[in-house]
Amino acid sequence: MPEKLEAHVRRNNNLAIIQFSGDVTTFAEDVVQNAYHDATLYGGHNIAIDFSACEYINSAGIAAIIGVVTEARRQGRRMLVFGLSPHYQKIFRMVGLTDYVEMCASEEEALRKTKPPEK
């Protein structure tokens, strides 16, 4: 019954993007961890998570996200998220995740925020 979470990791300029599709729940922990690990292999400092294809995120899924956000902080990486519905934006603020990740309206905004200064 849970919609299996799938992750696709790609690069757009200096941003590694983890694109999730499916439910972010208890069953998502390994997928979230592995996707984060794959994103770090791109060697980038900036990692963004795209939630636009995730309709259901529960507390266990949030715990999994908190896990990788904590790891990213420890490694000195910058985390961004986009594609969250207004409800899940509220949930992310509620649990304090927005103190540690930057919420963006779109991939374009995430790219703008992480664009290196022009020389």
85 sits near another protein (criterion: CB under 8 A): yes
- Our CB check for another protein shows the closer of 11 and 93 to be 93
- Our CB check for another protein shows the closer of 43 and 86 to be 86
Question: Residues 6 or more apart from 39 whose CB is under 8 A from it?
Answer: 9, 16, 17, 18, 47
Q: What minimum distance in Å lies between the beta carbon of 56 and another protein? A: 7
d(CA 93, CA 18): 20
d(CA 93, CA 87): 10
Q: Which single residue is written with the structure tokens 């910058």?
A: 78
- Our CB check for another protein shows the closer of 7 and 69 to be 69
Measured between alpha carbons, how far apart are the two ends of the chain, in Å? 52
Among 19, 25, 40, 114, binds another protein (CB under 8 A): 25
67 sits near another protein (criterion: CB under 8 A): yes
Q: What minimum distance in Å lies between the beta carbon of 115 and another protein? A: 27
